[in-house]
Amino acid sequence: MRTVIAALWLLTLPALAAGESAAEISKKSREKGALNLTGLTAQLKLVTTSKDGKVKEQVLASSARQVGGKNASIARFSQPAGVAGVAVLTVEGSGGEADDIALYLPKLKRVRKVAKSDRGKAFMDTDFAYADIAGNGGSRDDQLKRLPDEKQLDRPCYVLEGPGGEDTPYGTVKVWIDQQTFVPMQVTYSDKSGAPLKKYRTLSLKAFKERTVAAESVMENLQTGSKTQMTVLSLEDCALGEDAFTERALERG
């Protein structure tokens, strides 16, 4: 899973030169996956709290790796019982195209594609959307502009801004990318009218071997008052081969 989920990126790298373009910064960040989980398998917990205080918890395993030069990830839910076995495969699109997203529903024993028109819908009833899996809210690298650097959690960040993708609910997306680790520290989303819609924040970072990952993060829906917090429960090297990141393998479980 690359956002949420969507969205949505990391070996510790030296800071980019001051003249680095927005597209180059975005590409370097995106190549590593939204949480810096490429090459890893993570156990994740999603806790969604509605405005009236109702809480829903979900647990999943997310594995990510490069397949044929593209980022690919597979997320499989284990808890609660109602979603156990549901799996989502995401493969990075080519040449600025939208990511390919496939959803396996064990009750129906079938895989279905997530249509481009559905990318703005909630991912598994959380505050992440399918569009967030791709990172940058569907913005293409060549659409982004670089703004003055700022700090988040006292860490220097590159700041990028661009339009949301055509098949997303986002009008403008603004991303703060940590200059040392390239982890997205904050993302703000406006709707098509320009009103604030959602805000993603990295709450804490965690060292794992030679990299730094987003250990805790939260996506807040500023219009509904709901929020989803994501916590990394455990990490290990990804043992899955390239053939595991296919729709056929998705059905096998």
Structural domain contains residue 209: yes
Query: What's residue 253's pLDDT?
Result: 67
Structural domain contains residue 16: no
> And the tokens for 206?
């965690």
Q: Are 134 and 7 in contact (CB under 8 A)?
A: yes
Show the low-confidence residues of the chain (pLDDT under 70).
1-19, 31-36, 95-96, 133-139, 253
Query: Residue 230's closest CA among 242, 218, 239?
Result: 218
Query: What's residue 151's pLDDT?
Result: 96
What's the rounded Cα separation, in Å, for the pair 172 and 126?
Answer: 21
Structural domain contains residue 63: yes
Q: In the chain, pLDDT over 70 holds for what percent of residues?
A: 86
At 118 the three-state DSSP class reads helix
Q: Are 66 and 242 in contact (CB under 8 A)?
A: no
At 126 the three-state DSSP class reads coil
What is this structure's pTM?
A: 0.86
Q: Regarding beta strands 145-152 and 70-79, do their DSSP bridges make them parallel or antiparallel, or are they unpaired?
A: unpaired
Structural domain contains residue 14: no
Query: What's residue 29's pLDDT?
Result: 80
What's the rounded Cα separation, in Å, for the pair 119 and 134?
Answer: 10
Structural domain contains residue 1: no
At 179 the three-state DSSP class reads coil
What range does the domain containing 190 cover? 22-252
pLDDT in tens, 15-29: 334 568 988 888 778
Query: What's residue 2's pLDDT?
Result: 42
What's the rounded Cα separation, in Å, for the pair 231 and 61?
Answer: 12
Backbone angles phi, psi at 158, to 5 degrees: -80, 145
Q: Are 218 and 201 in contact (CB under 8 A)?
A: yes
Query: What's residue 20's pLDDT?
Result: 84
Query: What's residue 152's pLDDT?
Result: 94
Domain of residue 61, CATH code: 2.50.20.10
Domain total in the chain? 1
Structural domain contains residue 7: no
Query: What's residue 86's pLDDT?
Result: 95
